[in-house]
Amino acid sequence: YMSCLNSSLLGIPLDCGNIGGLKNVWIIATDDVTAVALGTGASESALMTVTSVDLASSKARAKYSFRKGNASFTATGTKDDKAGTFYVTTEASLTFNRQSLDNVTEIMKLSKGTFYAILEDNNGVKHFVGYDSYVAGGATANSGAEMAEANNYVVTLTSMTDTFPKIYTGPDPVTV
């Protein structure tokens, strides 16, 4: 029985400082992108980085910022030995407070489009999601029942790829 692992394990050192959640998300319509550049070289770490995202002229990335606790993502790797497959499902949950006409218009666009996304976590690491494809999976509107409950929209973006999200090392994303 042979492993599909291409290299030796190196270990991961103990980390004593870590903050959960997302603080910023840049969303880019796939039709607006002319090129996505990966890191150079054949190393595994180079292949797991995105160094730039080139846009068609007059196109921009849309930036969304979040309060603590209102945005997160999970990436789950699934291996099937019988079928010999491995894939990663990434889901980003983005909560936008307050329902309004302006917000619902934007939520509808996010619900129907196909996107790439750069997710900046609260540790300052930017994750590029959707190297193969990124699709807005849907949205939910919540009214809340009590004064202290949120009135919001929750957008869930879902991607299925063959790797975990790549690390974005390019320049700060330019926004609308």
pLDDT per residue over 2-30, tens digit each?
555 556 666 766 566 778 899 999 998 88
Q: Which residue has the higher pLDDT, 132 or 127?
A: 127
pLDDT per residue over 31-78, tens digit each?
888 888 888 877 777 788 899 888 888 777 889 999 999 999 999 999
Burial class (CB in 10 A: 0-12, 13-18, 19+), 74: exposed
CA–CA distance, 169 with 120 (Å, rounded to integer): 11
At residue 163's C-alpha, the angle toward residues 49 and 77, to 5°, is 140
Q: What is the pTM of this model?
A: 0.84
Which are the contacts of 121, defined by CB distance < 8 A and separation ≥ 6?
19, 20, 21, 22, 23, 127
Give the whole-number percent of the chain exceeding pLDDT 90: 35
**172 DSSP 8-state letter:** P
CA–CA distance, 60 with 54 (Å, rounded to integer): 10
Q: Are 117 and 75 in contact (CB under 8 A)?
A: no
